[in-house]
Structure 1
Amino acid sequence: MNHRPFAPAAPMRHLCIAAATLATLATAHAGTQDDAQGFIAGSSLNMLNRYVYEQLDYQHGSTFRATNGERSKTQATESAYGLMLQYQSGYTRGPIGLGLDAQAYGAINLGTDANSARATPRYVAKDGQGIPNRFGRAGAALKIRLSSTELKLGEIRTKNPIFSSSDSRLLPESNRGWLISSSDIPTLALQAGRFTGWADRNARKSNNPLQANYSGAQGDAFRFMGGAWSPAGQTFSLSSYFGQYEDNWNTWYLGGFYKRPLENNRALSVNLNLYRNTDTGQAQSGEVNNTTWSLLGTYATGPHKIGVGYQKVHGNSPFDYVNRGSIWLDNAMQLSDFNGPQEASWQIKYELDLATLLSPGWSAGIAYTRGSGIDNNHLNSVYANYLGYSGHNGKHWERDAVLRYAVPSGRAKGLNLQLRYSMHRTNAAQGEANIDQIKLQAEFPFKLF
């Protein structure tokens, strides 16, 4: 195992040097703090309403255990309404601005019961009595800004390839810690942070222990630093991040995107994501030595867009990550991540802007992803015990179809509707379930001030 400790002193020295450099730049270049409107004058309060209904039909002998403990169930249904309030203050005027961000998330169960939801529900919460009628949580973060460099401390939602907060279900995911973001250097967006607490998407409270998705191992902290470079006026970007899930693994990420416009409203684009995970410290997830990458090419012409992708896992464990949204691989789909040990997968997808065929705001997409070569026989004991997978020559496929409508104007402008149908089929060696999914989601944002 790799027991190379993450030496915090060196990154902190780098952060101090970077902070000093940015402070110098701030005296020579105008930053966003120069336009501060004041704590109250720059404030905003937004509300997002979201309704979700999902039905999962288990097929070909696959079953699940319900929240009430009943086994061999074949149809899971959940329905709920979520309300998300987000307050963002402005910044006080002066060289250093102070502000506050706060959020309150609430959800109402719309008929989901312990007999129909899975033992680990996907949208609603779970308590000692089963499925509560309502649940929610709240949090806040202090923010400090110098020029275009911002420090946040408290309950935060993050977005980067190795530590990203998911918002793919009813309520958003969030974490507790600190985050530095800077755009003082032109064309370069930098981030660094350290987080010690977690709130899953259906959590009833914040600051729960961090947890790996596939090993189940908990960690005291996740720290990272990195950034993205996007040259002005160019159609490509490069990003790189390094992070550590304390006493579990180190993660290094490299990403790139390139788009080439062509004549007659056509374009070609390529997207690359590469992750490298190696165990560290006490290695609570066991031995980890995993390199995973994906490459997606897309051709667009008029309202049509077609993409072909390939993804490969090199290693005897799944590609694992912390936070539900920290997987930016192109073949991570609706029902499966296609990230099994030694797995190779390919994808073909098609998207269509239906504005000319129906009316503005309509769009649709279909995708097919197939994975094979999965070998669960060499999982270390941590992954084997948590996942319960075994066998080799695992294979599976997934089909996804989605229809979307976004109201383009009028009183209902901003209303987004989405209907999704997905199928996942697998063999026993792959380890996941055979499922058909129907998902209906409606969102309506509203700005209070």
Structure 2
Amino acid sequence: MQVMKWSLIALAVAGSTQLAVASEQSDSKGFVEDSSLSVLARNLYFNRDFRNNPNTENTQTREWGQGFIGTFESGFTQGTVGFGVDAIGLAGIKLDSGRGRNASGLFPTDSDGSSQDSYGESGGAVKMRVSNTVLKYGTQFTAMPVFATDDSRLLPETTEGFLVTSKEIEGLELNAGHFTASNAQSETNHDSLGLTQADVFGGTYAFTDTLSTTLYYSKVEDYWRKYYANVNYTLALAEDQSLAFDFNLYDTKSSGKDLYTAYDGDKLDNTVASIFGSYTIGAHTFGLSYQQVSGDGDYGYGVDGGGTVFLANSIARSDFNAEDEKSYGATYKLDFATLGVPGLTFMTRYVTGKGANVEGTDSGKEWERDVDVKYVLQDGPAKDLSLRVRQATYRSADGVYYGSPSIDELRLIVEYPLSIL
């Protein structure tokens, strides 16, 4: 689950009496002086067991790889209008795989169906800044709730196009984008996701440090148009206690050639809403969630980015986003920092869904249980190195999730961020 923040009245606020923030461009030190170069080394072991599922040719997926995600961001030249460039370099190396167990989505496949030994991708972008408004064109990552590139495998998705980000008003961030290509996490093509054109507009407005709202609109050619809204609120109860609420809403409708319907079979004209409430006391956080899909078809995403599902019950395996589905969840988090072990965190959650209208199912029931443990080194020569274990158990007698009645999944992730400049 991801949380974005923007205002339902952001456009009106933009013309209000609220003070504008200081100009970032005026503070520019120069193209070279403000440049940064970093590399994230990611080692990922992926094991997914379908437990003898008769609907799956490969009953167990098991692969291991090493990835490198390099990003360069230049500063902006000085003056009223600043110019700069960004660059992305991605490389993945297969450490272990095999025929019959290589459908993890970590690597591209050769013509014989085996995973490639290595793969990579690179891209660049030019950018321009006036005051606190930046226009960027080229290859980039995005994190908007209606257009978000996915980063859940060895290497992230990328997209290509224009993106304008404006922060001229204090507390208000506006985004407008026009994208013409997107590439999947395990591909090296220019546009493996088949995106023709996507237009996005929206942003975030924070009323206070504890209350923010969001509104976005997108139109993906020949797929759909979407509206998204979010309200996020945190209420402090005491020095170490607080309540937090996160509400998300998508409204989606098929448009154009309706290519999503062509492979899914359902016209989209639906809304999906979720709410997540949590109570934090000291090191402990307890959360409850509810999510409901109403209307025709499930919540569709993918061509607009594999991360475009900012919903409470979109978790490790299932999104609980089928037509007519209602789902309920419970989450527990523990931050060991207050217990004397900074950098160590623990999370577990359980979500159950019912009423999913999926062809070939009767009860439409599914459930999932996740466990996530992460430790980040706090000092020493390997400072910021993180070790993470993610385990998911999924069950559905009907096979709501792509016909799968049972899935056990394990991911072991080691990441080390290296700042070069």
Flag whether TM exceeds 0.5 (same fold): yes
Q: 1:151 aligns with which of 132, 135, 141?
A: 135
Q: Deviations over 1:228-252 (max 9, x none)?
A: 11024x3010000011111221100
Q: 1:445 aligns with which of 400, 404, 417?
A: 417
Matched positions, count:
398
SS at 2:126 equivalent:
strand
Matches within 5 A, 1:297-376: 297-321=277-301, 322-357=304-339, 359-376=341-358
**Alpha-carbon distance in structure 2 between the residues aligned to 1:60 and 1:244:** 40
**Alpha-carbon distance in structure 2 between the residues aligned to 1:186 and 1:401:** 38
Show the counterpart of 2:61: 76
Matched, 1:224 2:209: no
Matches within 5 A, 1:234-313: 234-286=209-261, 287-313=267-293
SS at 1:34 equivalent:
helix
Matched, 1:413 2:383: yes
Backbone CA RMSD of aligned residues? 2.0
**Alpha-carbon distance in structure 2 between the residues aligned to 1:185 and 1:87:** 28
SS at 2:116 equivalent:
coil
Go from structure 1 to structure 2 and tell me whether the alpha carbon gap of 1:63 and 1:75 turns closer, same or farther (over 3 Å shift).
farther
**Alpha-carbon distance in structure 2 between the residues aligned to 1:270 and 1:354:** 23
Asked if the contact 2:28–2:34 (Cα under 8 Å) also holds between the matched residues in 1, the reply is: yes
Go from structure 1 to structure 2 and tell me whether the alpha carbon gap of 1:410 and 1:62 turns closer, same or farther (over 3 Å shift).
farther
SS at 2:26 equivalent:
helix
Matched, 1:124 2:124: no
Matched, 1:185 2:165: no
Asked if the contact 1:52–1:81 (Cα under 8 Å) also holds between the matched residues in 2, the reply is: yes
SS at 2:251 equivalent:
strand
Matched, 1:422 2:404: no
**Alpha-carbon distance in structure 1 between the residues aligned to 2:91 and 2:29:** 30
**Alpha-carbon distance in structure 1 between the residues aligned to 2:54 and 2:353:** 19
Asked if the contact 1:316–1:375 (Cα under 8 Å) also holds between the matched residues in 2, the reply is: no
Matched, 1:173 2:173: no
Compute the displacement of 1:363 (Å): 1.1
Go from structure 1 to structure 2 and tell me whether the alpha carbon gap of 1:29 and 1:417 turns closer, same or farther (over 3 Å shift).
closer
SS at 2:337 equivalent:
coil
2:378 aligned partner, one-letter code: P
1:369 aligned partner, one-letter code: V
Matched, 1:205 2:181: no
1:184 aligned partner, one-letter code: E
Structure 2 stretches lacking a partner, 5+ long: 1-10, 262-266
Show the counterpart of 2:361: 391
Show the counterpart of 2:4: none
SS at 2:378 equivalent:
coil
Show the counterpart of 2:264: none
Go from structure 1 to structure 2 and tell me whether the alpha carbon gap of 1:53 and 1:37 turns closer, same or farther (over 3 Å shift).
same
Identity fraction in percent? 32
> Which range is displaced more, 277-286 or 264-273?
277-286
State the 4+ residue runs in structure 1 displaced beyond 4 angstroms.
none
Go from structure 1 to structure 2 and tell me whether the alpha carbon gap of 1:183 and 1:208 turns closer, same or farther (over 3 Å shift).
same
